Amino acid sequence: MNEEQKKQTNQIQSAPNLNAARKRGRETISYQRDFVIPEQMSRIGEGKKYYIRTYGCQMNEHDSEVMGGILSEMGFTTTDQVDEADIILLNTCAVRENAENRVFGEIGHLKSLKRHNPDVILGICGCMSQEEGVVERLLQKHQFVDLIFGTHNIHRLPELLQQCYMSKENVVEVWSKEGDIIENLPKLRQGGIKAWVNIMFGCDKFCTYCIVPYTRGKERSRRPEDIIQEVRELAASGYQEVTLLGQNVNAYGKDFVDLDYRFDKLLDDLRKIDIPRIRFTTSHPRDFNDDLIDVLAKGGNLMPHIHLPAQSGSTEMLKIMGRKHTREQYMTLVNKMKEKIPNLSLSTDLIVGFPNETREQFEDTLSLYQTVRYDIAYTFIYSPREGTPAAKMQDNVPAEEKKQRLLELNEIVNTIALEKNKTFEGKIVPVLVEGVSKKNENILSGYTPQNKLTNFVGPKSAIGKIVPVHITEAKTWSLNGEMISESERKV
Ligand code: SAH
Ligand code: SF4
Ligand code: F3S
C-alpha cells in the first residue's frame, strides 16, 4: 500500500452506501435533546470565520442555518467573503447532474485558494456527500477536500472539525442510515422576518427518477409539541412568517405509532398561533386528503398557495415515474382545492424527457398545464441519477428533443404566469416586505399571500411589516406596485 492509498483508507470512518440507504427499517425514531458542544471545542472558533455556500432546496437552506448555529456556538463568526474564511462548507444538492457539476466547478476554484492557504478547512456536506460515486471521486481527484459529512451527520460537526484540526488526514463521516431526530440543535436564522421550520425529514416515496429518498433517509416526523413550541417562539420573537418544511409534508405523522395526528391537525393547531403567515412545502398529491383541504379553507394565517408537483400530465408516464397518482386523481384533487380554498395560487414541478417519453405523453403535460393554469412552474429536463431505477432504463429520446420540449413547455408556463399576474393589476394586496431591491435602493420587495414577488415604491420603515400595495403592473415573474399610505387607506 503506498502513502496515497494509506491516506485514503485511514481517513474514512464511514462512507456512503446507496444500497443501505434504500432500506427502510421498522425501528421507531427516538428524539434526542442532548446535543452539546464538547468542552475542548467550545472556543475553538474565536477569531475565526466560516463561509457556507448552499445549493438545492429549502431543506438545505435550513440545514445551513443549523450548521451556522453550531459554528457560532463554537465561537466562529460568519463571512460572505470566501477568501476570508477559515472554514468553507459547500452544502450540496444531488437532485440533477447540473447541480452536481456546479459544485465540482466550485471545488475546482477552491483548489487554488486552498493552495495559498492550506490551513483553511474545506468541507463538503449535503446530499452529494450521501452518494458513493461522489465521495469516491472527491477522495481520488480532490484530495485537498478536508472533510466530507452527510445529511445525517450534521450534529457531529464539532467532533468532525476537532478531528480535522488534530490530524492532517481528510475526515469522512457519512451515515447511510438516518439517525435520531435531534431537537436541540442551535440555528442561526437568516433575516428575522421569515423562518423555516422542519416538520419532518426524509422521503419514502421512491419516485423512480429521484435521489432524495437515498440522500435523506426514511420519513421521520417531529413531535407536534416540539413544532408548536418552535413556531410559538418564532412568533414571540417577531417573525412574520414560517414555512413548514418536508419533502412530502402531507405524510406528516404517518410514522407515529402512538398518535393519530396528521398534517391537517398540525396546521389546525399552528393556525391558532399569533403569527401572520404560515406556508408549507412540498406537498405530494398522494397524501393530500379532504381534511387537509378543509383546514386550508379556513384561511386566516394559512396562506393560499400550494406547491403541488405533478411531474407529468400523462398517467402512463406517472406510472413509470412511480408517482402513485394518475392524471385524473390529480385533477380531482386540484378541482377540490380550487373550489374550497379562496384565491388559491398553485405551482408545480414538471419533468420533460423522462426515458422514452413520447410526443403524445409530453403533450399530455402541456394539456394538464393548460387545464390547471398554474401560477408558476419549475420545469426540468430529466437527469439520470446513479442508483435510481430510472437510471437503468433505456432511453430513446434524443437530448435535442428534450431541450425543445422544455422550451415549448416554458413558453406556456410564461404565458399563463403573465395572464395570472395580470389579474392582480389594479388590486391592493398585502405584501410582507423583506428588504430593498438589489438594483434600486428606493424599491422595496416582498411577497403577497399567493407568494407573488412584488417590487414597489415605499419607505424603508416598511421592511419587516405587512403593508398594502397597489399593483400597477404585472410581469411574468413578479408584480410592480406602490405602497398605499395610511391617509390613502382611509379614503
Ligand atoms: N419532495 C419534492 C421534490 C424534491 S426534488 C416533491 O416530491 O415534490 C424537486 C424537484 O426536482 C422534483 O419535484 C422534480 O420535479 C425534480 N427532480 C427530481 N429528480 C429529478 C431528476 N432525476 N431529473 C430531473 N428533475 C428531477
Ligand atoms: Fe423525490 Fe418523489 Fe420523494 Fe419528491 S416524493 S422527494 S420527487 S421521491
Ligand atoms: Fe437537492 Fe437534497 Fe434538496 S438533493 S433538492 S438538496 S433534498
- Taking residues 422-438, report their average pLDDT: 95
Is residue 489 predicted with pLDDT exceeding 80? no
Convert the pLDDT of each residue in 247-277 to its tens digit. Answer: 999 999 999 999 999 999 999 999 999 999 9
- What's residue 153's pLDDT? 94
Distance of CA 165 to the CA centre of its chain: 31
Ligand 1 atom with least separation from CA of 390: 22
Convert the pLDDT of each residue in 70-113 to its tens digit. Answer: 999 999 999 999 999 999 999 999 999 999 999 999 999 999 99
Is residue 241 predicted with pLDDT exceeding 50? yes
- Residue 440's pLDDT band, with cuts at 50, 70 and 90, is confident
The set of cell numbers assigned to 53 is: 455556500
- Ligand 3 site, residue 59, Cβ cutoff 6 A: yes
- Ligand 3 site, residue 216, Cβ cutoff 6 A: yes
- What's residue 14's pLDDT? 87
The partner residues of 213 in beta bridges, in order of sequence, read none
- Ligand 1 site, residue 220, Cβ cutoff 6 A: no
Percent pLDDT > 90 in the chain is 88
Cα Rg for the chain, rounded, in angstroms? 23
- Taking residues 389-398, report their average pLDDT: 96
Among protein residues, the one with the nearest Cα to ligand 3's atom 7 is 212
- What's residue 491's pLDDT? 47
Ligand 2 atom with least separation from CA of 323: 2
Taking CA atoms, 46 is separated from 18, 71, 73, 77, 83, in Å, by 38, 10, 10, 8, 18
Q: pTM (2 decimals)?
A: 0.95
For residue 212, report the distance from its CA to the centre of ligand 3, in Å: 6
Convert the pLDDT of each residue in 186-240 to its tens digit. Answer: 999 998 999 999 999 999 999 999 999 999 999 999 999 999 999 999 999 999 9
Q: Residues near 321 by Cβ (< 8 Å), separated by ≥ 6?
A: 207, 208, 209, 311, 312, 351, 354, 390
- What's residue 11's pLDDT? 61
Q: Residues near 348 by Cβ (< 8 Å), separated by ≥ 6?
A: 307, 308, 309, 310, 372, 374, 377, 378
- What's residue 448's pLDDT? 98
The set of cell numbers assigned to 173 is: 463521516
For residue 213, report the distance from its CA to the centre of ligand 2, in Å: 7
- Identify which of 24, 96, 284, 325 to mutate to test ligand 2's pocket (most ligand atoms within 8 A of the CB): 284
Closest of 298, 469, 391, 450 to residue 18, by C-alpha: 391
For residue 207, report the distance from its CA to the centre of ligand 2, in Å: 6
- Residue 19's pLDDT band, with cuts at 50, 70 and 90, is confident
- What's residue 490's pLDDT? 54
- Of 58-72, 165-179, 350-364, 407-421, minimum mean pLDDT range: 165-179
For residue 95, report the distance from its CA to the centre of ligand 1, in Å: 7
Mean per-residue pLDDT over the chain, rounded:
94
Ligand 2 lining (C-beta closer than 6 Å): 203, 205-207, 210, 212-213, 247-248, 284
- Ligand 1 site, residue 126, Cβ cutoff 6 A: no
- Ligand 3 site, residue 428, Cβ cutoff 6 A: no
Is residue 2 predicted with pLDDT exceeding 90? no
- What's residue 487's pLDDT? 66
DSSP 3-state percent helix, strand, coil across the chain (nearest 5): 40, 20, 40
Convert the pLDDT of each residue in 300-350 to its tens digit. Answer: 999 999 999 999 999 999 999 999 999 999 999 999 999 999 999 999 999
Within 345-462, where are the H helices?
Answer: 359-372, 399-422
Nearest ligand to residue 205 Cα: 2
d(CA 96, CA 116): 32
Among protein residues, the one with the nearest Cα to ligand 2's atom 2 is 207
